[in-house]
Structure 1
Amino acid sequence: MTFVNEKKNVVRKQHPYLHGNFAPIHRTQPLTPCIYTGVIPKELAGGEYVRNGGNPVTNEELGRDAHWFDGDGMLSGVAFRRAEDGSAHPYFVNQYILTDTYLSSISTPSLRLPILPSIATLVNPASTLLTIILRIFRTIFLVVLSNLPGSAKAIKKISVANTSVLYHDGRALATCESGPPMRISLPGLETVGWYDGIRAEGEPITDTKSGEVFGGSGLIGFMKEWTTAHPRIDPITNELILFHSTFITPFVHYSIIPSTHHNNSPNKLPRLVNATVPGVKSAKMMHDFGVSLSHTIIMDLPLSLDPMNLARNEPVVSYDPSGISRFGVFPRWKPEHIRWFETNACCIFHTANSWDETTTNTSTQIEETISVNMLACRLTSASLVFSAGDVAAPIPKDNAMTAPIEEEQCRLYYYRFPLTDSENSISHQFALSSIPFEFPSIRESLSMTKAQYVYGCSVSDGTFGAALGRAVKIDSLVKVDVLALIARGKETNQTPITGCVDIRTVTEILASNDANDPIKIFKLPQGFYAQESRFVPRENGKTEDDGWLLSYVFDEAQLDEHNVAGPQAKSELWVIDARDMKTVVCKIHLPQRVPYGLHGAWFSEKEIENQRPIETIRHLPLKKKNVSHESIWMHSWMSMRMWLLEKIG
């Protein structure tokens, strides 16, 4: 057990995302055995559940600008070791991801604020131009300083790798869109190194692999390598599909990485790296995208992430409710053939699934795609971006609106993009349910196909765009039969954009006794809150939903009267029967709490066993020793350096 920068904080005004179970925890644990109640499904044996999230190591100034999406990446996992009799024994582990910024931060104790400016500063309409410029120049100064003599770690990449995790081609990867993926090692969650599309730092160097890396070469390559936090894995071809969004024209690039680990084919598999996606005219906050078996969907929404906004007297991150949402659909390997579909302004941070609708050409007998379908969590505003930073969202100007303002909501939406029509027009766009719905997931083996069920998170009181001073807390896990609701929506000819198939509330759905209800909700006990869930299928299951949902759960009765979680507060990992959405088959009692975070993944026993070889891993910097023979110039420089850090910290 280790403690990193465990210091007593002076409590000021409570930031909703820095207190309670949102507060960071700096205690890290190696693989530690856990007690449990119930029965652990045999399918979990040998696998590991891992969840990523921001956990700021520099957390002295609790009154600072802060955002839920800020913070150094921390992985929290439960590994289920397989015993000789085939049973599973749970072990908890959590580790910081040793990014460049994290290693630089912990070796600079004089820092009072994180190295990177908070997203809250960038989105706040009240932030002055001078404030934003000073925060950005502070970051640039610290990055440059880290590359000069006397630094424990040079900052080459600014990503905090705090958003999601995935597995591709023998590598577990942690992601965040401000940099390339970072490889981690399972099950201990050690940090290996940055992945460039060919190999990860820390892997053995071979002469057989060559090609273009993410971002390419050149001075701006470090920015062009910024990668979506939500790459997609084709469950059939095992290709990794991802995009790179930057501030620089042409703004979006696109890559496809084949699976080569344990591939004995003599033929070289095709790669597509840094291909331009045409048609995006400005820098945007692009978090996710849609991928079917044959097509890709890029979302160009009116949510900008552009330093040039400062010249227009706007925040770096700005939402235009009078703008349009554009969906660019193109064949997987041909981004130059993109077709743009337009609709009303909205925000989408997560897509749930995408699939092709095909037909067989009677003359050629070749299967052709006639439309691409997508399910996504559609927000009617950017309120979540602001509330997650405890910032009041700007009020839209009435004279700037070209369409009626929709009520605040975040719903699971269905989109259909026809490809056979001469005009680019969305044929269907409506909500499947009126309940708040976010953090979607599906059975991974059915990704990019017409899956029946989508799982997600909901709140019984409020929306995901929480009110100012409040934080989003998930008290309901949801399973939606999307195919049933899509069919019903088409039959009832739902109104485009504003239509909604099922208008029941969470309470009304919970009261339903219909065994075939297309929406089922697992409501947590009062005061308990969950996190994003992940589906693990039952071996030889008979239905798509035959399996379990895994989610970290925290009982807020453990918080004191000041909304502080003490050192004895603990979380649990719940294993829920996905068929009935009622039965908790097992609870893993963890040795400490897991702060509310972002996205996770289930890694199978086979994936863990088939990881690529690792030569080195990243380590915490060694404590500096006093050097008696240090030159007078070096001594003077170090004194100046310490003075600068004290002033700018």
Structure 2
Amino acid sequence: MSSPGRGKSRAASHPYLAGNFAPVTETWSPTPVTWTGEVPVELLGGMYVRNGGNPATNSDLGREAHWFDGDGMLSGVWFERSSTDPLHVVPHFVNQYILTDVYLSSIENNALRTPILPSIATLVNPLSTLFFIVWRIMRTVLIVILSHCPGSQTAIKRISVANTSILFHDGRALATCESGPPMRVTLPELETVGWFNGSMAEGEPCQEKGTGSKDVPPTLGGTGPLSWMREWTTGHPKVDQTSGELVLFHCSFAPPYVQYSLLPSRDDTAAYSPPHKEIMNAAVPGCTGGKLMHDFGVSKHHTVILDLPLSLTPTNLLKNNPVVLYEPKKPSRFGVFPRYEPASVRWFETTGCCIFHTANTWDEYNHEGQVTAVNLLACRLTSASLVFSAGNIVPPPHPDRADVVKSRPMSFFAKYDDHLDLEDPEKSIMDENTPLLPARTSASSSRAHPPVPISYDDQEQCRLYYYRFAMNSKTSNEITHQFALSAIPFEFPTVSPVIDMMNARYIYGCSTTNESFGAALGKATKIDLIIKMDVRDLLARAHRSPPDQTTGCVDDRTIDQILASTDRRDPIKAFKLPPHHYGQEPRFVPRGSINSTHSDSENFEDEGYLIFYVFNEDQLDNMGQCGANAKSELWVLDAKTMENVVCKIELPTRVPYGLHGNWFSESHIMRQRKVQALRAVPELRHTTKWSRTRSALFRSLG
């Protein structure tokens, strides 16, 4: 165990820095842990890892903090095989900071009192002045310049905190974030190797056997003065499990705004070698500007880029708008193109919305094997409340909202027994000097709970949506189908990797027993329901009785009605966690060997397990804070029945509510590429006159 992050001087009062949202301060090298139940044989030798922001500095910062901020921390459970019996398991827990340039610099320069990067809350807050935003940006620039001066042990070359997701491609585990390229880490130790440039990672041997310098392809971002910006890579790259290809896009503030890359696998274990070479930084023409573009869709033959009315660009400041701006009156645009031909993009338009995560994308063929349509399942939001709520900022009202009803639904962030005590945060008058919204206390207990600003617009929804883009017309671009599969909240989707990018029958995701859409995606951060949707059944119902376009819904039941269902063939099944227990994003692990040519997916597609972290909030104290002994668990749920938790791994510490994880098989761990050097926290040097001067400069920057 170690504790590289600095201790906190007081309990955090920001809602996303309190309770199990609060960062942890200790890191653990692989440590054996105990469990109950029976560990499935499919997990032997593999590892589950989840990424998320865990601020190493100033985690008690007041208003200027956001759930998407924070240094990347990986938390994993490695199911190591027993050294005496390979059919038995010894689970290990491990968590480590990702040693990005920003993290290492913040540890080295402990005179800094606030994070190096501006908080997203600063950039989206309508109350932030132009001067304050510009100062925070210039402060970051000054710190970056100082990091390159003599005497600095860490030069900040990239500003990514790598805190969003993690994936495996071509012998590398890669942590991702929109503000930089992927960062390679090792499995199972979760040690940091270095930035991945599309060809190799820092810390790897310079040349592999049989590779010459002339064979090295262009790197992510390319060359030129804007290359540093154009290597910013989506937090959700897609890996084709059949071909081994990695599909990525890079979104920036400068035209052409979106560039596209495709990296083939050089691993000879791929099912087949595709006939196409890599694509690096190819422009996707037709994008309307710099956008907050978090995810995209990839089928076996097509890619879908999401150009939505949620902009992310400094030019918004020139119009007296926040850097992040949602304009729902503008259309949502979907750019669909063949996987290897981004220049052939076709744009489809519809009503404005937000989409942070796609669930699955697949092609539709005619009898001649030609693609006639591309289908997309995505978690569609009608509000950008998440961006504000996760920064403790009151969301702006939707322009089409109706009057707020008097009987409000319970906030997702409220306890079940204190919803009558909620104050309407929209009535609060806030300015730059106003403190955070005060914590509330339950009517039936003395425990305080930090509130989150919630809007109660009837326009707010967060639903699993189906889109069908017709590709057989050469003269028009038409979305022939667009409607919700269910009325319940649905986010953080996952699908079996053996059927990903194909017509998958089952989609799994997260929901909540609270039916307020006030915090949109934000309310899925405290998850008490894991959902399984039978997409094939729901689309068949839509075919028999078509719902209204855009506003329609196939299954309009409430979550209570779904939970009360006893129909074993119900297309929506829900696993409800025990009271006060909250989960995180699940990942699907297939059971046994699966024949990919099987003609009836109903017999095998849901054969597997859902793995996710769980935290019991009964461990919170009366102020809603976690004690030093609070612990989380890793649960393994039978995905077929959605009823049986087959085992629970008891962790030595807690895992804060975070973002995205992934399952790495024993084969992934064994196939990792060689590493020559690892990143490490810099050792403190002897004090010199220049080091004292540097410390004074950092202290003056705040």
TM-score (norm 1): 0.94
User: Residue 61 of structure 1 contacts residue 113 of structure 1 at CA under 8 Å; is this kept in 2?
Assistant: no
- Alignment-derived partner of residue 612 in structure 1: 673
Among 336, 339, 342, the residue aligned to 1:332: 339
Q: Pick from 381, 385, 388 the counterpart of residue 386 of structure 1.
A: 388
Distance 1:396 1:586 in 2: 44
- Secondary structure of the residue that 1:430 maps to in structure 2? strand
Aligned-pair CA distance for 1:493: 1.2
- Give deviations 1:459-498, integer Å, cap 9, x for gaps: 1114565299988411100000011111211221110110
Equivalent AA in structure 1 for residue 390 of structure 2: A
- Runs of 5+ unmatched residues, structure 1: 362-366, 400-404, 628-634
Deviation at 1:396, TM superposition (A): 4.3
Separation in structure 1 between the aligned mates of residue 523 and residue 14 of structure 2, nearest angstrom = 9
The answer as to whether partners of 1:287 and 1:349 remain within 8 angstroms in 2 is yes
Equivalences for residues 111-510 of structure 1 within 5 A: 111-206=112-207, 207-208=211-212, 209-262=215-268, 270-361=277-368, 367-397=369-399, 407-421=459-473, 422-463=475-516, 465-466=518-519, 472-510=525-563
Aligned AA (2:395)? A
Please list, as runs of the form range in 1=range in 2, the aligned pairs for 1:543-554 lying within 5 A after superposition. 543-554=604-615
Output the amino acid matched with 1:605: E
Q: Is the 8 A contact 2:61 2:114 kept in 1?
A: no
How much does 1:506 deviate? Answer: 1.3
Partner SS state of residue 310, structure 1: helix
Contact 2:118 2:136 in 1 (8 A): yes
Deviations 1:404-425 (A, max 9, x none): x962110000000001123111
Other structure's SS at 1:444 match: coil
- Which digits, 9 at most, give the CA deviation of each residue in 1:205-253, with x for residues without a partner? 1143411100001221111000001011112211100100001111000
| Matched letter for residue 170 of structure 1 | G
The equivalent of 1:3 in structure 2 is: 3
The Cα shift of 1:112 comes to: 1.3
Confirm or deny that 1:640 pairs with 2:647.
no
Match of 2:658 among 569, 586, 597: 597
Aligned partners of 1:193 and 1:200 also within 8 Å: yes
The amino acid of 1:353's aligned partner reads N
Tell whether the 8 Å contact from 1:351 to 1:374 is kept in structure 2 after alignment.
yes
SS state of the match for residue 309, structure 1? helix
Contact residue 390 and residue 468 of structure 1 kept, 8 A: no
Give the counterpart letter for 2:654 in structure 1.
Answer: R
Q: Quick check: 2:44–2:87 contact (8 Å CA) kept in 1?
A: yes
Deviations 1:593-627 (A, max 9, x none): 00000000000000110001111110110121246
Q: Hey, what's the Cα distance between the residues in 2 that align with 1:99 and 1:383?
A: 29
Provide the rounded CA distance (Å) in 2 between the counterparts of 1:233 and 1:107: 36
Conservation of the 8 A alpha-carbon contact between 2:175 and 2:185: yes
Question: How far did residue 360 of structure 1 move?
Answer: 3.4
Amino acid aligned to 2:258: V
Q: Distance in 2 between matches of 1:464 and 1:577?
A: 29
C-alpha spacing 1:266/1:570, structure 2 compared with 1 (3 Å): closer
Following superposition, the deviation at residue 2 of structure 1 comes to 0.6
Partner of 1:364: none
In terms of mean alpha carbon deviation, does 75-84 or 260-269 score higher?
260-269
Task: Report the CA distance shift for 1:270/1:513 in structure 2 as closer, same or farther (over 3 A).
Answer: same
Q: 1:123 to 1:612 in 2, by over 3 A?
A: same
Q: CA deviation at 1:7?
A: 1.9
Mapped contact 2:333–2:347 kept (Cα < 8 A): yes
Tell me how far apart the structure 2 counterparts of residues 644 and 56 of structure 1 sit (CA, whole Å): 22
Name the CA distance, whole Å, in 1 between partners of 2:534 and 2:3: 45
Distance 2:172 2:276 in 1: 18
> Structure 2 CA distance, aligned partners of 1:463 and 1:358?
39
Question: In 2, distance between residues paired with 1:559 and 1:358?
Answer: 53
Q: For the Cα contact (< 8 Å) 1:143–1:155, is it kept in 2?
A: yes
Deviation at 1:126, TM superposition (A): 1.1
Q: What is the deviation of 1:281?
A: 2.1
- Number of aligned residue pairs: give it: 630
Shift of residue 152, structure 1, vs aligned partner: 2.1
Deviations 1:487-533 (A, max 9, x none): 21122111011000111111111110000000000000000000000
What residue ranges of structure 2 are gaps of 5+ in the alignment?
A: 402-456, 595-602
Query: How far is the alpha carbon of 1:269 from its aligned partner?
Result: 5.6
Alpha carbons of 1:267 and 1:316: their partners in 2 closer, same or farther (altered >3 Å)?
A: closer
C-alpha distance 391-22 of structure 1, shift in aligned 2 (>3 A):
same
| SS of equivalent to 1:205 | coil
Q: Provide the rounded CA distance (Å) in 1 between the counterparts of 2:217 and 2:684.
A: 38
Decide whether the 8 Å contact of 1:192 with 1:614 is kept in 2: yes
The residue identity in structure 2 corresponding to 1:556 is E
Classify 1:9/1:469 alpha carbon distance in 2 versus 1 (closer, same or farther; 3 Å). farther
SS in structure 1 of the partner of residue 370 of structure 2: strand
2:533 and 2:571 in contact (8 A); partners too: yes
Q: Distance in 1 between matches of 2:29 and 2:682?
A: 18
> How far did 1:539 drift?
0.4
Distance 1:464 1:443, change over 3 A: farther
SS in 2 for 1:427: strand
The answer to whether the 8 Å contact 1:358/1:371 transfers is yes
Deviations 1:324-378 (A, max 9, x none): 10000001111111111100110000000000001133xxxxx210000000000
Is the contact made by 2:398 and 2:459 (CA closer than 8 Å) also made in structure 1? no
Q: What displacement does 1:540 show?
A: 3.9
- Quote the offset at 1:640 in angstroms: 3.2
Tell me the distance in 2 between the aligned counterparts of 1:174 and 1:554. 24
Distance 1:393 1:468, change over 3 A: farther
1:570 to 621, 624, 631: 631
Query: What fraction of aligned residue pairs are identical, expressed as a percent?
Result: 57
Instruction: Answer whether contact 2:7 2:25 (CA < 8 A) is retained.
Output: no
1:263 and 1:450, CA in 2 relative to 1: closer, same or farther beyond 3 A? closer
What aligned pairs does 1:56-75 form with structure 2 within 5 A after superposition?
A: 56-59=55-58, 61-75=60-74
Q: Is residue 8–residue 58 contact of structure 2 (8 Å, CA) maintained in 1?
A: no
One-letter amino acid matched to 1:253: Q
Q: C-alpha distance in 2, partners of 1:43/1:380? A: 39
Q: Aligned equivalents of 2:269 and 2:491: distance in 1?
A: 37
* Structure 1 residue 300 displacement after superposition: 0.2
Residue of structure 1 in register with 2:564 after alignment? 511
Within 1, Cα distance between the matches of 2:518 and 2:104?
A: 33
Contact 1:79 1:91 in 2 (8 A): yes
Q: Classify the secondary structure of the residue corresponding to 2:693.
A: helix
CA 1:6/1:145 → structure 2, altered by over 3 Å: closer, same or farther? closer
Which amino acid in 2 is paired with 1:26? T
Q: Do the aligned residues in 2 keep the contact of 1:261 with 1:612 (CA within 8 Å)?
A: no
Distance 1:122 1:390 in 2: 13
Q: Which moved more, 1:268-277 or 1:85-94?
A: 268-277
